[in-house]
Amino acid sequence: MTTLSEILSNELGLAVKAIGDNMDKEDFNASGKTKRSLLFEVSASSDYIKGVISVNDPILYAEKGRPPFTPDSGLAQRIYDWMPFRSLPQDQGLAVFISGKISKFGTKLWRDLGSKGGRREIYTDVLQNTSDNISEALRKIVSGEVRSKVNEALVSV
């Protein structure tokens, strides 16, 4: 019988691959840094089994874009580092300008989709399907265990 740890490892591995594929399909990941940060881990003890998917923060803006925000000094540097991956000249002044425009208006993705309640699919549907698959597998394991215990009880009567 398949264990819950095996189910979690399989389902989380499939989810990480699907999220990475969606990043590629939607051209989200210019440098590959966020995609490379996408990992999963399953840990177990006698008290619990835990599965975790982890990824860098920029994934939060992958589906709806970055809304307008109070400027922070870190975005300009991230844009500066990102520029070569989009064939832009690496110019600190341009990075600060772009950062300022994003902080005032949000990203193009935000203006086109996120602000209107839309999104592109990167992780939401994948995580929902993964959760559904894990729940169904767990239901089968538990119902099989219950059925086995009931049959044992009936045989011993």
- Segments in 43-123 forming alpha helices (H): 73-82, 92-105, 108-112
Using the predicted structure, report yes or no on whether residue 157 has a pLDDT greater than 70: no
The 10 Å CB-count burial string (b at 16+, else e) for 27-60 is: ebbeeeebbeebebebeeeeeeeebebebeeebe
- 92: pLDDT confidence band, cut at 50, 70 and 90? very high
Is the confidence at residue 116, as pLDDT, over 90? yes
Tell me, rounded to whole angstroms, the distance of Cα 120 from its chain centroid: 13
pLDDT digits (tens, 9 = 90+) for 5-44: 999 999 999 999 999 999 999 988 788 889 999 999 999 8
46, two tokens: 């006698």
d(CA 22, CA 27) in angstroms, rounded, equals 8
Helix (H, G, I), strand (E, B) or coil at 52: strand
The string of pLDDT tens digits covering residues 36-74 is 999 999 998 888 899 999 998 778 899 999 999 887 778
Return the C-alpha torsion angle 141, 147, 149, 150, nearest 10.
160
